[in-house]
Amino acid sequence: MTYAVRYYTKTGNTKRLAEAMAEELGVEAQPISVPVTEPVDALFLGNSYYAFSIDPEVRSFVASLDKDKVGKIVNFGSAAMLNSTYKKVKAEADRVGIAMDEREFHCKGEFKGLHKGRPNEEDLKAARAFAAQYK
């Protein structure tokens, strides 16, 4: 299988998860500002809630994806309060005809004193183990 890892972060938390997963998959984690130009079986997409939704940049990124180049999207992220962004990302993926993997990874992320130190080493270890399922 072929993989790509893209992420959107404002705090750096999701970037840390992306880097752990990318290392496990043998690819480079890149921000969503880097388009997916190569065909991939699985695009690992890291994101989080901002103001109770996914960021407009994440929406635009998913809208820019070529359904003939991306087999499926694997959602992951971190957040201080709200958890899964799966439904929000799936709605965007459905618009462009790209399947979403049913599995996702999520952990707590530090924000303004909440969940201090997260994602921590255990979270990064869990992120690597999650990505390893796809190898």
Report the C-alpha gap between 91 and 62 in whole angstroms: 10
What is the DSSP pairing of strand 29-31 with strand 3-7?
parallel
pLDDT in tens, 12-49: 999 999 999 999 999 999 999 999 999 999 999 999 87
What is the total count of domains within the chain?
Answer: 1
pTM over 0.75: yes
Q: Residue 87 sits in a domain of what CATH number?
A: 3.40.50.360
* H/E segment holding residue 49: strand 49-50
d(CA 107, CA 88): 17
Q: Residue 60 carries which side chain, given as an amino acid letter? A: S
Note the pLDDT tens digit of each residue in 69-88: 999 999 999 877 667 899 99
Query: Residue for token digits 């990124």?
Result: 61
Per residue in 53-73, pLDDT tens? 799 999 999 999 999 999 999
Relative to beta strand 53-54, strand 49-50 is antiparallel
Longest CA span, the chain: 42
Range of the domain at 25: 3-132
